[in-house]
């Protein structure tokens, strides 16, 4: 498609598909490509409008309200201990076993536990949060418009609202030292977030932060295990974790596509897309465009066309955090989670390798990652 049909009309979905790097970059940055599609693609499952579908002043103010919690001092001082604690808790459950499934024993739980802990919610409700965010992600990626998937997504939004709104109201009365209380108190230019705003943002945070970091951690270890020399290099020099994560975001990103809706006619490679059309932007295909990356189908943490210094910013060369005004607000949180989790996993499993007979298979279309990742290692005694 990228080579022969860079602008493809997909009849069953009634949408255009683009896959070249330059076209997808334009779709991320050009305000002609709006996020109005999220009115039907996302809003029903979140039970309200979220920051990803806002624009103009409304978007900039909402982003200013939530962004400080996910960068700089706030992230390092307040939430780094939360990330470390949750990673250690999960690893301590299998470090003496000599075997683990890095998807089901670690990655599936780690980011959700961190987010729930950051928000000051009850981690005993982990299964409910997991069920809700899974239903929301499936709603988002329901390309065939399966009515049962749609119904499950809407139901998840309703259940989460019934759970979250009373907690939000209680935090307004009795604030604590947690992210939910911070969101309740945040104010920019005289604007505060309503209970519904906060609930929708929490729903987005659980879905986007859980699903993406879950798959990113698992995919990075899958890639490194498939390239033992690079795994050995990362084990020896932990500063290479950033490179391994950035290359994973390019080579096998957790989110393979996003949608945009056109405010006016736009000419792209392959033709003109009329106003009002929905465009599916294939992030993963663009990330392997040979016109932008050398040897794009090879996983190489040492490549020189993917600068690590900008890989977790809006100036990144890969497109997995999007670009422009809708650059992922949680990018630095994800980077910190991956860095902490990977360091602790490598410490606990110094001779990590795929378990005998394991053949990790990736699953998913809209979001994608290993379904399972069985590994073995020399069992280590728990340290004090």
Helix, strand or coil, per DSSP, at residue 227: coil
Helix (H) / strand (E) element for 362: namely strand 362-363
The secondary structure of 8-34 as a DSSP string is EEETTTTEEEE--HHHHHHHHH-TTEE
pLDDT tens-place string over residues 260-295: 999 999 999 999 999 999 999 999 999 999 999 999
Helix, strand or coil, per DSSP, at residue 377: coil
Q: What is the pTM assigned to this prediction?
A: 0.93
Q: How many CB atoms lie within 10 A of CB 114?
A: 25
pLDDT of res. 384:
45
pLDDT tier for residue 380 given thresholds of 50, 70 and 90: low
Of 56, 61, 46, the closest CA to residue 164 belongs to 46
How far, CA to CA in Å, does 52 sit from each of 150, 170, 209, 344, 368?
20, 26, 13, 33, 20
pLDDT of res. 79:
87
Angle at 39 between CA 36 and CA 40, to 5 degrees: 115
pLDDT tens-place string over residues 62-108: 777 777 777 767 777 788 999 999 999 999 999 999 999 999 999 99
What domains are defined for the chain? Answer: 7-349 (1.10.630.10)
Q: Which parts of the chain fold into alpha helices (H)?
A: 21-29, 38-41, 43-46, 56-66, 72-73, 80-91, 110-119, 126-140, 147-173, 179-185, 195-204, 210-225, 228-236, 241-251, 283-286, 331-348
Tell me how far apart the alpha carbons of residues 354 and 357 are, in angstroms, rounded to a whole number.
8
How far, CA to CA in Å, does 36 sit from each of 39, 124, 259, 318, 364?
6, 36, 9, 24, 24
pLDDT tier for residue 241 given thresholds of 50, 70 and 90: very high
Judge whether residue 359 has pLDDT over 80.
yes
């Amino acid at each position: 498609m990228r080579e022969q049909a860079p602008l493809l009309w997909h009849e069953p979905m009634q949408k255009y598909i683009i896959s070249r790097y330059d076209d997808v970059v334009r779709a991320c940055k050009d305000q002609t490509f709006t996020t109005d599609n999220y009115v039907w693609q996302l809003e029903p499952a979140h039970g309200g409008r979220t920051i990803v579908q806002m624009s103009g002043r409304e978007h900039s103010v909402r982003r200013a309200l939530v962004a400080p919690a996910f960068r700089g001092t706030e992230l390092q001082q307040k939430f780094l201990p939360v990330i470390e604690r949750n990673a250690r808790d999960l690893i301590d459950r299998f470090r003496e076993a000599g075997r683990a499934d890095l998807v089901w024993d670690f990655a599936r739980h780690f980011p959700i536990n961190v987010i729930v802990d950051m928000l000051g919610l009850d981690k005993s409700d982990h299964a409910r949060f997991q069920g809700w965010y899974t239903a929301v992600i499936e709603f988002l990626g329901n390309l065939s418009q399966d009515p049962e998937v749609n119904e499950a997504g809407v139901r998840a939004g309703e259940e989460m609202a019934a759970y979250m709104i009373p907690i939000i109201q209680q935090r307004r009365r009795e604030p604590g030292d947690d992210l939910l209380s911070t969101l309740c108190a945040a104010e920019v230019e005289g604007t505060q977030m309503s209970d519904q705003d906060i609930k929708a943002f929490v729903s987005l945070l659980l879905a986007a932060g859980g699903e993406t970091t879950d798959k990113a951690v698992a995919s990075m270890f899958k890639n490194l295990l498939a390239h033992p020399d690079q795994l050995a290099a990362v084990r020896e020099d932990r500063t290479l974790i950033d490179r391994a994560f950035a290359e994973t975001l390019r080579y096998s990103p957790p989110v393979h596509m996003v949608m945009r809706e056109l405010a006016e006619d736009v000419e792209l490679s392959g033709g003109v897309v009329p106003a009002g059309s929905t465009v599916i932007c294939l992030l993963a295909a663009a990330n392997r465009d040979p016109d932008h990356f050398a040897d794009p189908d090879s996983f190489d943490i040492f490549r020189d066309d993917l600068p690590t210094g900008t890989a977790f910013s809006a100036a990144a060369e890969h497109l997995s955090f999007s670009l422009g005004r809708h650059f992922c607000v949680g990018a630095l949180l994800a980077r910190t989670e991956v860095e902490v989790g990977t360091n602790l996993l490598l410490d606990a499993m110094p001779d990590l390798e795929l378990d005998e007979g394991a053949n990790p298979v990736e699953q998913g279309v809209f979001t994608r990652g290993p379904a399972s990742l069985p590994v073995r290692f020399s069992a280590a005694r728990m340290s004090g």
